[in-house]
Structure 1
Amino acid sequence: MALRLVAEFDLWKDVFPWLRVQRAASASAGTPGGGADVLENNYESLRVLNIERNGNVIYTYKHLYTFEKDLQVVSCSVNSERTLLAASLVQSSKEGRKNELQPGSKCLTLLVEIHPINNVKVLKAVDSYIWVQFLYPHVDSHPLPENHLLLISEEKYIEQFHIQVIQEDGNRVVIKNSGHLPRDRVAEDFVWAQWDMSEQRLYYIDLKKSRSTLKCIQFCADENFNLMFEAPLDIPLSDSVFKLVNFGCDDIQDQDKSSKYPMLCIFTNHTGSLCVCYSPKFDSWEQIMYTVFYFHKGHSKTFTAALGSADSHVTKGITFLNLDYYVAVYLPGHFFHLLNIQHPDLICHSLFLTGNNEVIDMLPHSPLQSLSGSLVLNWCSGKLYRAFLNQSYLLQFLWNTRLDCEKIAVLHCVLSCGQDPQFLEAKIIQWISENVSACHSFDLIQEFIIASSYWSIYSETSDIDKLLPCSSVLTWNAEIPGITLATEEITLPLMKVHSFKGYWEKLNCNLEYVKYSKPQLHYNNCMVRREWHSLISEEKTGKRRSNVYVRNILDNAIKVISNLEARNLVSEPRLTPLFQEEDNHQRLLLGLMVSELKDHLLRHLQGVEKKKIEQMVLDYISKLLDLICQILETSWKKHNLHPRVLHFNRQASAAEFAVFHIMTRILEATNSLFLPLPPGFHTLHTILGVHCLPLHSLLHYIDNGVLLLTETAVIRLMKDLDNTEKNEKLKFSIIVRLPPVIGQKICRLWDHPMSSNIISRNHVKRLLQNYKKQPQSSMIDKSSFSIEFLPLNYFIATLTDIESSNQALYTFEGHDNVDAKFVEEAALKHTTMLLGL
């Protein structure tokens, strides 16, 4: 199943056997009331009461402390030193189960010294329910002189007791001034509250003029408590509602009737996200609705899930679980949703599974409670789980699903797991190589490269999600089967404290971004595209800017390639012939991207060291290149290609066709985003193109920019192929399409009349581009010409005159034998060849 629950505590496996041993020992010792049969008859009273911040699980069997036989524990908490215990007890019915809440119920709240004696102080004796919770500051090596205890009353107020303890007679711990314990009123007139045990936060909702307002109290070790924010919450609540979340086991309400009550919970994570998940009570058996308020993004989304047939009765409520970057929402037997809370803007980044799916059927049907982080508690079974996304299931699902929306959602789920990323990337690349053309709504290679590069440096700083794109998909208009969605803007929380640390600093940063940063600050390669085209244009005209600037850009590329090689020290040598040539155009693109991305991050990542940013940039771009190499390497290995593929004098194989196709898809993916390619990519692509394509298709690919002619590839072509008629046609077609700078070099390597003709044409074009006709004698000295062909004679005389007037300027660079005489001979040879003489 998509969700993997790993048990960290099992009441029946971890506690029940121990109790059995204790009971058996008591029975053998003749202790009254002992015996294993008593345990068997009272197993229902074995239940979890609370889980503390340090991982301590508080459970009870029959009674923790026996005061009266008709009292039962409702709430219980132990301080971090395990010297004090707070417990709230209520009267029970004769059947051994507590009565439904009703006027006149008696609730007794006690504070007990448990190290090493049991002095008891009554904190409350009232006619309403009370819940207790010790505060847990960050663990210190020495005991705290003062403990803080929260009392939550059904009368809709929360108090904090300050309890000082002292040591007497060695390690005996007692309460100081137990007759008068100072206390503060933390909150009042609330209708709902949730406790975050890990971060020591209290969320609660109060009603003012029928308007719901969410508030949060942060408890700290070095101070009392602070009201952190207020946020209007557009959900219908009434004074008659009273609900507590994560204050121990809440079984006042019948869990079987949970669908009759609204469900509300709050999730946060270390990146500064704040999500409020709300599901109203169900009014229909045909569809279920729930809303998620993404306060860190400034909007809410209301999801409506179709349940199918009208007889699909819902007997259990919706369950919300916190999975770090995701929120899992599921209704047993009906649907399972994974909501991407880090990037919720597009619905395709979340996964929606419905119907009779095995992932839904395998999840527990009993209610689960999401605690801090990824801890999940099943109150009914007494099992505490750590919840993970199941990578194996998601990878298998990736192979089997046919929907584009599920492919892109699962792709992001897998990459965000963060467990063994190299293994996951290898599996995804294997899937891509088999399904490269399977997606119609997005480019599969493009999405993988962008998403994987993003997640590779995400842990460096939480602000990276605002500055780098996580997806290549900008819009998504396709429907998700079984789901309708409505998005609304919401009012942002008002921060009440102005000195932020940790999570609060990141949340405040997210809120500031939503307020002021529009349009988004995501990096793109627009500036790189413009600058690269400018440099290439300057290269063609010979007017390139200062050598220092270009050298710095190329140095950036060297740093990226060195960083990539350092990252791959432990991996196998690459089979594909990449990084084996200069390829200055790709190196310019690499270096420009380093420069632009570094400037982008430096502008917006305030407070981050420059060296760290520079390394992040190198890692990010190295990852881009490495992923491209991995995709090509996987295809190369799959088809068992050999280095002999680099030679032109051989026939293409089906394997080469397959690799050429994947390289063409990689080129399409990178071109639209203007991403750099590994030096040598275009050479290999061109060589495979010459092998695999007929001449007319090959020239069409070249003319449309799909194949980029590199000097290395063309030199190899000229050397490998002989001068048969077919090869001459190919060589000529290639040479005339070369940039002039490369073309001049290549023509010298081909000893052929066609090559001499091209050299001559370039020489003549160079001489005549600034030529101004001068008055000349109408008589031509025929004695200087061996052939009596007046047009040619006149033309050669003109060239000779230009050469003699400024020999230094017009000599063909690097080829001393190119002159008017060479042009004449080349023209005659070419004419002879054309006439077949």
Structure 2
Amino acid sequence: MSAKSIARRSGDLENTYDSLRVLNVERNGNIIYTYKDDKGNVVFGLYDCQTKQNEHLYIFETDLQAISCSINSERTLLATSLVQSTKEGRRNELQPGSKCLTLLVEIHPINNVKVLKAVDSSIWVQFLYPHVESHPPSENYLLLISEEKYIEQYHIQVIQEDGNKVVIKNSGHLPRHRVAEDFVWAQWDVLEQRLYYINLKKSESILKCIQFNADENFTLMFEAPLDISLNNSGFKLVNFGCDYLQDQEKLSKHPTLCVFTNNAGSLCVCYSPKFDTGDQITYSVFYFHKGYKKTFTTALGSADSHVTNDITFLNLDYYVAVYLPGHFFHLLNIQHPDLICHSLFLTGKSDMIERLPHNPLQSLAGSLVLDWNSGKLCRAQLHRSHLLLFLWNTPLDWEKIAALHCVLSCGRGSQLQEDQLILWISENISACHSFDLLQEFLIASSYWSIYPVASNVAKLLPYSSVLTWNTEIPGLTLVTEEIALPFMKVHSFKGYWEKLNYNLEYVKYAKPPFQYNNSMIRNEWNSLILEERRGKRRSTVYMRNILDNAMKVISNLEARNLEPRSVPLFKEEDNHQRLLVGLMVYELKEHLLRHLQGVEKKKIEQMVLDYISKLLDLICCILETSWRKHELHSWVLHFDGRGSAAEFAVFHLMTKILEATNSLFLPLPPGFHTLHLVLGVHCLPLHNLLQHIDNGVLLLTETAVTRLMKDLDNTERNEKLKFSIIVRIPLLIGQKISRLWDHPMSSSIIARNHVKQLLQNYKKQPRNSMIDKSSFSVEFLPLNYFIDMLTYIETSSQASEGHDNVDAKFVGETALKHTTMLLGL
């Protein structure tokens, strides 16, 4: 919203543009502005952000300069501070001899004017905006902030007369209380109704915060020492309206200091000392919710540009923007500031810098920004499409990872954005050298999928796959120092204060960090797989619980995706992946239950299901995007024909997914390994295929090998392939698969596996040779002895169950045939 658009909507003439100024933005978003009409009178108006209409509030028929203004939520009272005009021949007719007048006006309807202050120092005014449901319309509270370094709260009661006429009750004596005094800096948070101010105590700067509650009581919430110097900086106010006089004329004399919070319980203090023109600028950010501060020293983007102390800090929820027009734009991740790669640092050479205003900016409440030169008032937001475009175009790894996290955090729940990210990732899977792009996307996107409904799990789930970052960012140096934590002055917390206190307690006591790591289940999963290969099983109850967990995840995933997928996944009982999914559900649930006190068990269980479902869904979506892009179909699962370029592209992508998930020990969708193996048989030469199998890149699943045995005929090439595969399959499924291939080589393999299993646990015992040899006897004594031993094992209690289709006679016949073939007889 610009000054011209406000004036145009209010129906005033062009000559009001120059004098029109925004004075304040109230908690409900309404804008109070002032201008001088053609007679020199001071006019106050209000722009309603809901109706998009202007409303005339009051007019002073005298030449005064408004420095502050506020209106109560019912629009019945107007408070303003005015100073005498500097024009010759005009004088303050309301209160001669004073520099500043603070007035309280009844405006519903326009009635009396009460003088609250008539002093030589400047005064700023601000009505409190409590929650509507808890605020009686007759109760109003007004803050007066004096240049003499004190803040008072006025209690104003109003009554109705003659129908709807609102007047001040007992206007001759308004109760007031001293809120703060002897401060050198103060900031008003209009959205959360908080007052931050700094006292000097033995040359130490102490930051304090007062919370104004729904019942209009105010409470000192915390005190925090700041390692900054404000001794000679004088008096400075932040966010008490749009004070052009103070911020423009005195800007060069003061350091820039802002306090930012968000609903996740963060508390940041951004500080930039007064600086002279030079080739670099330093600023600090105190991350109180993390227990340290970071001091950034950045080279100026353009050495020829004029530098003034007009650095701007903007609150963008999970980020703080630090902007110096024409030089640099930094986007600091305040939720996860540990690694520099999670923040974005752009210099004046960037195209994104060119899109930003080149004029001095004033940061107001929330993310509102006032452009002094143009008079435009706008709300700063991170534009997802611009961030995506920047992500696609930047060649630098640290900018890629920072932009990726920024897109995910500011666009939670946007399916279109997620589809665009997945398309970009599938085409740039190997574009980053400093980190694994796929891992970063899977971890960060899964994290943000449940963050909005469970922000208290932020410290318990991994946010990034990157643990360290040693790459320097050109033009930027960084120093990290521990700081003293705020001292909370109250003991009962709600809302934001509860989350801040939780963060502070975590900094104090949570060492080492409590983040979940999926490798915690690696040993258990390997143990279960080994037991399966040996034919052993855990208790039925335990295994049923694990597999039930996996079924819940898959059901949850299928319920969230109603459209059928093109990729043939979830079409088989992949027990190994189901075990891994079930174990992850169990371990992650136990992890959250240990560290999340006071959260319902059902809520935690649902969070776990949603988190793991999202992880699997992302893998499916990446495959689905590539599958549809290359126009593949379900017939890919058949083995007839050679692999195309499209199939090889999908195979390469699946291999990258496998590498990314293996190093983090993350589960894959059931059916992934089957599809991967089929594509591998299509696309790879035999020797490369076998290398992939032997190195564990391709896994021989029962479904894939069964299809291979059934689909391929017994040509020489296919026989070689089948034999190479069948000798590598696990013994547990080898017996079943071998019988699908009607070939002498298959019989030989069946016999070998049978003998191997019989002799594996064989314990030699004394026995008499009472076995009837007439059933099978050849003139080859070693073979006769071997058959005799196998027959004894089969008929004794040492034999294993489940091999009634294989006996010693079959083994003997197979061995004899194989021997005669080798001897050429």
The normalised TM-score by structure 1 is: 0.92
Q: Which amino acid aligns with 2:675?
A: L
What is the CA distance between 1:240 and its match in structure 2? 4.5
What is the CA distance between 1:380 and its match in structure 2? 4.2
What is the CA distance between 1:95 and its match in structure 2? 7.1
Q: Does 1:494 align with 2:468?
A: no
Aligned counterpart, 2:633: 642
Provide the rounded CA distance (Å) in 2 between the counterparts of 1:598 and 1:683.
Answer: 29
Provide the rounded CA distance (Å) in 2 between the counterparts of 1:829 and 1:80.
Answer: 99
Q: For the structure 1 residues 113 and 105, does the alpha-carbon distance in structure 2 shift closer, same or farther, using more than 3 Å as the test?
A: closer
Q: Which amino acid aligns with 1:405?
A: W
Provide the rounded CA distance (Å) in 2 between the counterparts of 1:286 and 1:744.
Answer: 75
Aligned counterpart, 1:44: 18
Task: Map 1:205-604; keep pairs closer than 5 Å.
Answer: 205-253=198-246, 255=248, 258=251, 261-308=254-301, 310-315=303-308, 317-418=310-411, 421-569=414-562, 571=563, 573-604=564-595
Aligned counterpart, 1:53: 27
Deviation string for 1:348-373 (max 9, x for gaps)? 01111112323212222233333333
Give the secondary structure class of the aligned counterpart of 1:607: coil
Q: Which amino acid aligns with 2:742?
A: D
Q: For the structure 1 residues 783 and 198, does the alpha-carbon distance in structure 2 shift closer, same or farther, using more than 3 Å as the test?
A: closer
Aligned counterpart, 1:139: 132
- Maintained 8 Å contact 1:191/1:205: yes
Aligned counterpart, 1:75: 68
Higher mean C-alpha displacement, 647-656 vs 408-417 = 647-656
Q: For the structure 1 residues 15 and 40, does the alpha-carbon distance in structure 2 shift closer, same or farther, using more than 3 Å as the test?
A: closer
Give the secondary structure class of the aligned counterpart of 1:436: coil
Q: Which amino acid aligns with 1:718?
A: M
What is the CA distance between 1:576 and its match in structure 2? 0.7
Aligned counterpart, 1:15: 7
Q: For the structure 1 residues 297 and 254, does the alpha-carbon distance in structure 2 shift closer, same or farther, using more than 3 Å as the test?
A: closer
Q: For the structure 1 residues 138 and 381, does the alpha-carbon distance in structure 2 shift closer, same or farther, using more than 3 Å as the test?
A: farther
Provide the rounded CA distance (Å) in 1 between the counterparts of 2:637 and 2:90.
Answer: 81
Consecutive unaligned residues in structure 1, runs of 5 or more? 1-8, 21-38
- Maintained 8 Å contact 1:274/1:507: yes
**CA RMSD, Structure 1 to Structure 2 (Å):** 2.3
Provide the rounded CA distance (Å) in 1 between the counterparts of 2:729 and 2:215.
Answer: 72
Provide the rounded CA distance (Å) in 2 between the counterparts of 1:758 and 1:447.
Answer: 45
Higher mean C-alpha displacement, 523-532 vs 146-155 = 523-532
Give the secondary structure class of the aligned counterpart of 1:598: helix
Provide the rounded CA distance (Å) in 1 between the counterparts of 2:357 and 2:775.
Answer: 102
Aligned counterpart, 1:87: 80
What is the CA distance between 1:656 and its match in structure 2? 1.3
Q: For the structure 1 residues 42 and 642, does the alpha-carbon distance in structure 2 shift closer, same or farther, using more than 3 Å as the test?
A: closer
- Maintained 8 Å contact 1:255/1:367: no
Q: Which amino acid aligns with 1:394?
A: L
Aligned counterpart, 2:764: 772
Higher mean C-alpha displacement, 303-312 vs 445-454 = 303-312
Aligned counterpart, 2:687: 696
What is the CA distance between 1:258 and its match in structure 2? 3.7
* Greater relative contact order structure (CA < 8 Å, 6+ sep): 1
Pick from 807, 818, 823 the counterpart of residue 830 of structure 1. 818
What is the CA distance between 1:758 and its match in structure 2? 1.8
What is the CA distance between 1:781 and its match in structure 2? 9.5
Deviation string for 1:250-286 (max 9, x for gaps)? 2234638745531111111111111111111123420
- Maintained 8 Å contact 2:259/2:270: yes
- Maintained 8 Å contact 2:384/2:411: no
Higher mean C-alpha displacement, 825-834 vs 399-408 = 825-834
Q: Which amino acid aligns with 1:795?
A: F
Deviation string for 1:557-602 (max 9, x for gaps)? 1111111111011x3x111110000011111111111111111112
Consecutive unaligned residues in structure 2, runs of 5 or more? 37-41, 44-57
Aligned counterpart, 1:656: 647
What is the CA distance between 1:752 and its match in structure 2? 1.8
Provide the rounded CA distance (Å) in 2 between the counterparts of 1:476 and 1:581.
Answer: 41
Provide the rounded CA distance (Å) in 1 between the counterparts of 2:31 and 2:384.
Answer: 29
Provide the rounded CA distance (Å) in 2 between the counterparts of 1:60 and 1:456.
Answer: 45
Provide the rounded CA distance (Å) in 1 between the counterparts of 2:554 and 2:59.
Answer: 72
Q: For the structure 1 residues 88 and 823, does the alpha-carbon distance in structure 2 shift closer, same or farther, using more than 3 Å as the test?
A: same
Provide the rounded CA distance (Å) in 2 between the counterparts of 1:603 and 1:198.
Answer: 35
Provide the rounded CA distance (Å) in 2 between the counterparts of 1:373 and 1:17.
Answer: 25
Provide the rounded CA distance (Å) in 1 between the counterparts of 2:192 and 2:372.
Answer: 22
Q: For the structure 1 residues 350 and 222, does the alpha-carbon distance in structure 2 shift closer, same or farther, using more than 3 Å as the test?
A: same
Give the number of aligned pairs: 801
Provide the rounded CA distance (Å) in 1 between the counterparts of 2:223 and 2:135.
Answer: 35
Provide the rounded CA distance (Å) in 2 between the counterparts of 1:343 and 1:288.
Answer: 23
Aligned counterpart, 2:148: 155
Q: For the structure 1 residues 762 and 204, does the alpha-carbon distance in structure 2 shift closer, same or farther, using more than 3 Å as the test?
A: same
Higher mean C-alpha displacement, 75-84 vs 351-360 = 351-360
What is the CA distance between 1:520 and its match in structure 2? 1.1
Aligned counterpart, 2:727: 736
Give the secondary structure class of the aligned counterpart of 2:544: helix
Q: Which amino acid aligns with 1:828?
A: L
Q: Does 1:167 align with 2:160?
A: yes
Give the secondary structure class of the aligned counterpart of 1:123: strand
What is the CA distance between 1:723 and its match in structure 2? 2.3
- Maintained 8 Å contact 1:90/1:107: yes
What is the CA distance between 1:141 and its match in structure 2? 8.7
Aligned counterpart, 1:610: 601
The normalised TM-score by structure 2 is: 0.93
Aligned counterpart, 1:28: none
Task: Map 1:810-825; keep pairs closer than 5 Å.
Answer: 810=799, 813-816=802-805, 818-825=806-813
What is the CA distance between 1:480 and its match in structure 2? 1.4
Pick from 178, 201, 214 the counterpart of residue 194 of structure 2. 201
Provide the rounded CA distance (Å) in 2 between the counterparts of 1:627 and 1:296.
Answer: 31
Q: For the structure 1 residues 236 and 141, does the alpha-carbon distance in structure 2 shift closer, same or farther, using more than 3 Å as the test?
A: closer
